[in-house]
Structures are given as structure tokens and as C-alpha cells.
């Protein structure tokens, strides 16, 4: 995926990416429910609406670019995960996908737990009233200050990621007179991406402690001896944007194998197993994600079967979806600024944002779709590349898409499925101001993260 040539490379203009059909959709005005938030539609004038509000009005009121977040959709998806996994499992929303205080409150109200992986995310969670015991603290290099804050706050679990951290967390907890609940993150030699998984002998990546060579078993051995720690389980996270469950199957098999070894060696059955996140969403109409209830059924069956074979009581399962909850619930609203047809190649459509609000295309070669949303059009489709306003030729938002041939400056276009890893990865490159996140619900809109201002920029620059 990310190993292919950069889209802005020297030959970038002459080929369509493999596997992507070069044909436009039958109706460019249609909005595929797979990629758009659930309350999105078009009104009688052809203007796209969300949460009952036309995007033209949202643009007028809040400006562009803006992330528009469908609160009802977010809550429904969160609830669907919660319901699918039921009372015997926990759903931790991965805050790194997108975190704001409004989102924390919605998650709290819908009965979800929350993953954080920095002091900033922890502060956001606590300031919005997420009970500390429902927070899990992640990361491969938590600072001693972050660990101390998490322990003091009383987070439900810290996920230990290295041998050093086992000792570090134990020491801090003990010095505070606490016994911290922890999971140990292991790497099981499986890496999953989209439609396949790769079984690797060695885990060449920075997260977790390898199962290989008995390292994970040794980590558990050490952690169990430390008074400051209560080891509650094993954690495994195998990848991102995954559609195929077979990677989870291999991971669960190996995690349960470790639980069995722990039981045999130490006489303890660890009560929890966390299978991480990484479930895929539809970025384009070509993607077919699974529903939460299918995922819950598959994961529960896998773990139950593996535990029966190992004669272990089935542990409490937790999962950590980020993208699968928030990704589909937002779109980015842009205004078209310039349109540059390059003869025989394609047409470049420049919008008023770019890689500062969506780095995923440049970073991962991610695919998105785009639609004209301020009106409908019957004009012939034209092949476009939607680009941003940054001083960088890799500043691409949508590599290849069709938009109506009568597209004009001032039109509004929107890129769906930008709820995850867009605002949370946004930058100030070129001193471009980060867009607001506007949530809509039942005909009302509300800014949940405001637009950055030049004063914000200058406040950090102390001169």
C-alpha cells in the first residue's frame, strides 16, 4: 500500500491506480450510503443536507473547509458496537481517531469506554467527565509524568508496551501506594491490512512485546511478581482498515496459547483479552465493511472456541474500534477555488484545504471519493484530481475521481468518510488554520472544535 510510488512522483499523471475502475458512476449526483454519514441526503433544490441542514447554510455560517460531523450517526454506530458485544465485553473507542469533549460525552452516554495514548488525550477525556476507570492508557513511550497522572487519576488499565515500562509503571504505582490494573501488549506475528494478513516470524515494529522467543511469557513472569501491578490480561492489535477476520483468528489463537502457558506455569488464568481495533470502513464504493454484530459474533466465537480447546474459562473480551465508529460519520466540506484542465491528462481541482486537514492520501496513498454538494448537475463527468492549497505537489486530497464537467469556482464539494485520522492528524503546514468540527443533529448545528485563528498561531509564536 504505502510501498507504492508516491502519487506525486514523476509519472503520477499518466496512470490510474490499479484496481480502480476508470468509469464514472452512473449518476454523479447519487450519494452512496456506504460512504456518507447516515443522515446525508439532498433537498428539493439538490443541495446536500446532513442532520436536516443544507451544506450551503453550514458553509455560510461556519466557513470552509470544515469537518461536518453527524452526531446521530456517531451515537448509532457507538451504540451498535456496544449492543453487539453485550454485557460480557467492553468496547473502548480509540480516541486517536478523533477526540473532543463532545465525543467523550457521547461515548460516556452510550456506554463505551475510551482509549487514550497521551497526556493530552487523557486530559481531554477527564475534562469531559469520562470516569477514569473506563479509560485505558496506551502508548509505546509514555513519560513518567503521563504514567503518574494516569495512575493518580485511577485509569482502569494501563497497557504495558515494553520491559522498561513494566518496571516503570510498577514503581510509580507502588510509590503512590496503588496497585495498577495493567494489560501486557504483545505482538503475535500477524499484521493485517485491508483484505489480507501477513504472518511474520518476527515483528519488525515498535509496538508491544513479541510472543516470539518467549519474550511475552517473560514479560508476564516479571509483571506478575511486582506488587504495584495487577495483571488483568493480554492485549493484541494487529493492524488497521481490516476487512478480513482471519488475522484476528490467528491472533486470538496465539493470545489464548499464551494464556494457557501462563495458567500452566503460574496457576493463574488472566481474566481479560483485548483484540484491539483496526476494523475497516468504506472510503469508496468498492469497500465492503462488516457490521459490528458480525464482527462481535466472529470474534466471540473465535475466542470461545480457542479457550475451549485450551480448557480455559472464556476471558472477558475487549475491542478498540476507532475508525469504524467515527470514520463514516463526518465529511469535509470544501469550496472549489481553481480548476485547471491539463490536456489529455486530467483536471486539477483546487480546494481551500488539503494535506493540512487530510494527510491520509499523502501519507498512506489512501483513497477517497468526492461529490459536488451545493447543487446537482447533469453535465458530462470529468476525471479530476482534488488537490489542496499547500506548497507541495503531494498535496492531494482525492487522487482520482469524477466530478461534473460544469464544476465552477465557488461550488462546494465534500469528501466523505473523513471522521477518523483527519482532524486528529491535522497540521498547520503553511500556517494554514485548522478547520472546525461542526456537529449536526435534528436540524441544529454546533461547533465542537472551533476553527483555528491567526491569533491562535501567533499566541504560540512568542517572538
| Shortest Å, Cβ 266 to ligand PLP | 25
Which among 51-59, 67-75, 165-173, 277-285 is the span making contact with ligand PLP, rule CB under 6 A? 277-285
Our CB check for ligand PLP shows the closer of 274 and 357 to be 274
Pairing of strands 48-50, 53-54: antiparallel
For the chain, the helix, strand and coil percentages under 3-state DSSP, each to the nearest 5 = 30, 25, 45
Residue 193 makes contact with ligand PLP by CB under 6 A: no
E strand segments, 236-291 = 239-242, 272-274
Which among 149-157, 274-282, 387-395, 442-450 is the span making contact with ligand PLP, rule CB under 6 A? 274-282
Our CB check for ligand PLP shows the closer of 79 and 237 to be 237
Other C-beta atoms lying within 10 Å of the C-beta of residue 442: 10
C-alpha cell at 343: 490536456
DSSP assignment, residue 377?
-
DSSP string covering 111-143:
T-EEEE-SHHHHHHHHHTT--GGGEEE--SS--
Figure out which of the listed residues 42, 79, 134, 138 binds ligand PLP, where binding follows CB under 6 A: 138
Residue 139 makes contact with ligand PLP by CB under 6 A: no
What does residue 367 show for φ and ψ, rounded to 5 degrees? Answer: -105, 140
Q: How far apart are CA 264 and CA 284, in angstroms?
A: 48
Which among 74-82, 90-98, 357-365, 452-460 is the span making contact with ligand PLP, rule CB under 6 A? 90-98
- Catalytic residue list contains 391: yes
| Shortest Å, Cβ 347 to ligand PLP | 33
Figure out which of the listed residues 80, 89, 97, 114 binds ligand PLP, where binding follows CB under 6 A: 97
| Shortest Å, Cβ 242 to ligand PLP | 8
Residue 323 near residue 421, CB atoms below 8 Å: yes
| Shortest Å, Cβ 31 to ligand PLP | 24
Residue 332 near residue 67, CB atoms below 8 Å: yes
Residue 322 makes contact with ligand PLP by CB under 6 A: yes
Our CB check for ligand PLP shows the closer of 134 and 323 to be 323
The helix (run of H) or strand (run of E) holding residue 350 is strand 346-351
Q: How far apart are CA 235 and CA 264, in angstroms?
A: 19
Q: How far apart are CA 214 and CA 223, in angstroms?
A: 14
Which among 172-180, 319-327, 355-363, 379-387 is the span making contact with ligand PLP, rule CB under 6 A? 319-327
Which among 16-24, 69-77, 316-324, 393-401 is the span making contact with ligand PLP, rule CB under 6 A? 316-324
Our CB check for ligand PLP shows the closer of 45 and 291 to be 291
Residue 324 makes contact with ligand PLP by CB under 6 A: yes
Which residues are within 8 A (CB) of 201 and not within 5 positions of it... i.e. 6 or more apart?
Answer: 189, 212
Our CB check for ligand PLP shows the closer of 278 and 435 to be 278
Half-sphere exposure of 250 (CA within 13 A, CB side): 19
From residue 42, give the alpha-carbon distance in Å to each of 38, 49, 306: 12, 6, 48
Q: Which residues, in sequence order, are bridge partners of residue 316?
A: 272
Positions 104 through 133 that interact with ligand PLP (CB under 6 A)? 115
Q: x/- string (CB under 6 A) for ligand PLP, residues 169-188?
A: --------------------
Q: How far apart are CA 293 and CA 304, in angstroms?
A: 16
Half-sphere exposure of 401 (CA within 13 A, CB side): 28
Residue 276 makes contact with ligand PLP by CB under 6 A: yes
Q: x/- string (CB under 6 A) for ligand PLP, residues 231-260?
A: ------x--x--------------------
Identify the active-site residue in 117, 307, 391, 422.
391
Residue 323 makes contact with ligand PLP by CB under 6 A: yes
Number of residues that bind ligand PLP (CB under 6 A): 17
Which among 34-42, 305-313, 321-329, 433-441 is the span making contact with ligand PLP, rule CB under 6 A? 321-329
Q: How far apart are CA 122 and CA 22, in angstroms?
A: 45
Our CB check for ligand PLP shows the closer of 321 and 394 to be 321
| Shortest Å, Cβ 279 to ligand PLP | 6
Q: Which residues are documented as binding site for pyridoxal 5'-phosphate? A: 278, 320-323, 421
Q: How far apart are CA 255 and CA 237, in angstroms?
A: 11
Half-sphere exposure of 196 (CA within 13 A, CB side): 4
Our CB check for ligand PLP shows the closer of 277 and 404 to be 277
Helix (H, G, I), strand (E, B) or coil at 278: coil
Our CB check for ligand PLP shows the closer of 323 and 399 to be 323
C-alpha cell at 46: 439538490
Catalytic residues: 391
Query: Binding residues for ligand PLP, per CB under 6 A?
Result: 94, 96-97, 115, 138, 237, 240, 276-279, 320-324, 420
Amino acid at each position: 500500500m504505502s510501498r507504492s510510488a508516491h502519487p506525486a512522483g514523476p509519472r503520477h499523471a499518466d496512470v490510474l491506480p490499479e484496481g480502480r475502475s476508470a468509469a464514472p458512476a452512473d449518476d454523479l449526483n447519487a450519494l452512496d450510503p456506504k460512504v456518507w454519514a447516515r443522515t446525508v441526503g439532498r433537498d428539493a433544490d439538490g443541495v446536500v443536507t446532513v442532520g436536516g441542514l443544507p451544506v450551503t447554510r453550514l458553509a455560510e455560517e461556519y466557513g470552509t473547509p470544515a469537518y461536518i460531523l453527524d452526531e446521530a450517526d456517531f451515537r448509532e454506530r457507538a451504540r451498535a458496537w456496544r449492543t453487539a458485544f453485550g454485557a460480557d465485553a467492553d468496547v473502548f473507542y480509540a480516541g486517536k481517531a478523533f477526540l473532543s469533549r463532545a465525543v467523550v460525552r457521547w461515548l460516556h452516554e452510550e456506554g463505551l469506554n475510551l482509549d487514550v495514548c497521551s497526556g493530552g488525550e487523557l486530559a481531554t477525556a477527564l475534562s469531559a467527565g469520562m470516569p477514569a476507570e473506563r479509560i485505558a492508557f496506551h502508548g509505546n513511550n509514555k513519560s513518567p509524568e503521563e504514567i503518574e497522572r494516569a495512575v493518580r487519576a485511577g485509569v482502569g488499565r494501563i497497557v504495558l508496551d515494553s520491559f522498561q515500562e513494566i518496571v516503570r509503571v510498577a514503581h510509580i504505582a507502588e510509590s503512590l501506594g496503588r496497585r495498577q490494573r495493567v494489560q501486557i501488549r504483545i505482538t503475535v506475528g500477524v499484521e493485517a491490512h485491508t483484505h489480507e494478513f501477513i504472518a511474520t516470524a518476527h515483528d519488525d515494529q515498535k509496538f508491544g512485546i513479541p510472543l516470539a522467543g518467549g519474550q511475552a511469557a517473560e514479560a508476564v513472569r516479571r509483571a506478575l511478581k511486582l506488587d504495584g501491578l495487577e495483571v488483568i490480561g493480554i492485549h493484541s492489535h494487529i493492524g488497521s482498515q481490516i476487512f478480513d477476520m482471519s488475522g484476528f483468528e490467528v491472533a486470538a489463537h496465539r493470545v489464548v496459547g499464551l494464556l494457557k502457558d501462563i495458567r500452566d506455569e503460574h496457576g493463574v488464568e488472566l481474566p481479560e483479552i483485548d483484540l484491539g481495533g483496526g476494523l475497516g470502513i468504506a472510503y469508496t464504493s468498492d469497500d465492503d465493511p462488516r457490521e459490528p454484530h458480525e464482527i462481535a459474533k466472529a470474534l466471540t466465537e473465535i475466542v470461545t472456541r480457542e479457550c475451549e480447546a485450551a480448557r480455559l474459562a472464556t476471558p472477558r473480551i475487549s475491542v478498540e474500534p476507532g475508525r469504524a465508529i467515527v470514520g463514516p460519520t463526518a465529511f469535509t466540506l470544501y469550496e472549489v477555488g481553481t480548476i485547471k484542465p491539463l490536456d489529455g491528462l486530467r483536471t486539477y481541482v483546487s480546494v481551500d484545504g488539503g494535506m493540512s486537514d487530510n494527510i491520509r492520501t499523502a501519507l498512506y496513498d489512501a483513497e477517497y471519493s468526492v461529490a459536488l454538494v451545493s447543487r446537482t448537475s447533469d453535465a458530462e463527468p470529468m476525471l479530476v484530481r482534488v488537490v489542496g492549497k499547500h506548497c507541495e505537489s503531494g498535496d492531494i486530497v482525492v487522487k482520482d475521481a469524477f466530478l461534473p464537467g460544469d464544476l465552477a469556482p465557488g461550488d462546494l464539494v465534500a469528501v466523505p468518510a473523513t471522521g477518523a485520522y483527519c482532524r486528529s492528524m491535522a497540521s498547520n503546514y503553511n500556517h494554514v488554520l485548522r478547520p472546525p468540527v461542526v456537529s449536526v443533529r435534528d436540524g441544529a448545528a454546533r461547533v465542537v472544535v472551533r476553527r483555528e485563528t491567526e491569533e491562535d498561531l501567533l499566541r504560540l509564536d512568542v517572538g
